[in-house]
Structure 1
């Protein structure tokens, strides 16, 4: 359990079950070591979570299909002050992609506010499904980050961030490419989140760029896997020890429509800063303290879009 010897497509697979999620246990410690190593080497890993009931996979993707089948004039009501947190679609560069976002997705108020826009008369099943899913996946995120913070000796730093953590649930669709279209579903990028946890609907497409900078690792879309991925904010918080991986979506000609659900973590109302425990003569400070949401807005400026590494351009030393 928690063994890094189990690789799939060159990505480590780590199981979160039994004693491995009990803080202080021997299994917790070994799983923590595997989590940190996976994030430091790959920036991501595949997680198997025993808290995720088998039927939840079908329920959340039924919810995604129901949402994304709504008329476009309804979906565009999903507006956010934060770029790319609301509806994104009908974009010339990525015509296959469409997605909506539920802000504060682990709270009933956040989900209800979203449902009022999409279904003014309500949608109880959608509310229960998305809220339950968000809470379960948020628990996985918190277990992973506790393991990381304990391993680095920066638990106090993480506890301060956890109190200010907000969760965004995005439900995404990639349509089948037409005969004359590129299969590019989403351009290569790193996430601007703190952490991201993705879940796929059995249709392949997600690819992670290998650290050699040349090869792309195709991620198994099996419903048993969650893809746990570091974002740019985590890279800065760990003083560069964990790097956010480049990833993209490529749709094959003749493939089915692809759905994906992602839970993204963001830190609000507090600056993210490198803990002093991660700075020494061999590891000098690489990032100034920064506001997570201001960084997101920076990314969508001309300077941010041109930057090879936006987080370094924004607050790097």
Structure 2
């Protein structure tokens, strides 16, 4: 749908062939009495895009404004697709990376499963997404080198600005 909406159908096959995936199960335990209720702090994902599914216990929240969070309620057997830092760079900033976190309330473990995609080779902005009104915001880069940069650089780099520090123009 993204390729069609931006007139990028010619890139779909090669893009699809250059993506690899990692499936990761997640378990969040309930907070102890002296802990805050955050199971995962606010972050954006560093891969190409993320697909999440969770058990019947909600907890995923997405940031919709600077200080406003919205709980995501999953219908049974559903999936939630999130745009990430790499997808934001590929789209020249037209698609924003989704800030999200996991908040744990209650006394039960929360389980989810995430499918993370990664772009093999170089991530480049399609020429159709660059024009006078949309100059290139990011240089071409390697998804895995970006993750390496993220891991090697301690906070405050662990936020949505890390992609701009790594490859921003």
Task: Compute the TM-score of the two structures, normalised by the length of structure 2.
Answer: 0.93
Instruction: Work out the CA distance in 2 between the residues paired with 1:202 and 1:280.
Output: 45
Instruction: Work out the CA distance in 2 between the residues paired with 1:239 and 1:282.
Output: 11
Instruction: Work out the CA distance in 2 between the residues paired with 1:157 and 1:164.
Output: 11
Give the structure 2 partner of residue 306 of structure 1.
Answer: 156
SS at 1:178 equivalent? coil
Give the structure 1 partner of residue 10 of structure 2.
Answer: 156
* Per-residue deviation, 1:311: 0.9
SS at 1:217 equivalent? strand
Tell me the alpha carbon deviations over residues 149-191 of structure 1, each in whole angstroms, 9 at most, x when there is no partner.
1211122333222112111100000012122222110110000
* Per-residue deviation, 1:284: 0.6
| Correspondent of 2:112 among 238, 255, 260 | 260
* Per-residue deviation, 1:192: 0.7
Instruction: Work out the CA distance in 1 between the residues paired with 2:148 and 2:11.
Output: 24
Instruction: Work out the CA distance in 1 between the residues paired with 2:81 and 2:162.
Output: 21
| 1:284-299 correspondence to structure 2 within 5 Å | 284-299=135-150
| Correspondent of 2:86 among 233, 248, 258 | 233
| 1:1-317 correspondence to structure 2 within 5 Å | 147-210=1-64, 212-252=65-105, 254-268=106-120, 270-302=121-153, 305-307=155-157, 308=159, 309-317=161-169
SS at 1:221 equivalent? coil
Instruction: Work out the CA distance in 1 between the residues paired with 2:123 and 2:79.
Output: 26
The structure that is helix-richer by fraction is: 1
Structure number with bigger Rg: 1
Instruction: Work out the CA distance in 2 between the residues paired with 1:201 and 1:271.
Output: 35
Ranges in structure 2 where 5+ consecutive residues have no aligned partner: none
SS at 2:141 equivalent? coil
Please identify runs of 4+ aligned residues in structure 1 that moved more than 6 A. none
Ranges in structure 1 where 5+ consecutive residues have no aligned partner: 1-146
Instruction: Work out the CA distance in 1 between the residues paired with 2:125 and 2:94.
Output: 11
- CA contact under 8 A between 1:161 and 1:272: conserved in structure 2? no
The structure that is strand-richer by fraction is: 2
Instruction: Work out the CA distance in 2 between the residues paired with 1:271 and 1:208.
Output: 29
Q: Structure 1 residues 310, 158: closer, same or farther in 2, change over 3 A?
A: farther
Instruction: Work out the CA distance in 1 between the residues paired with 2:33 and 2:131.
Output: 55
Question: Matched residue pairs, number?
Answer: 167
CA RMSD of aligned residues (A): 1.3
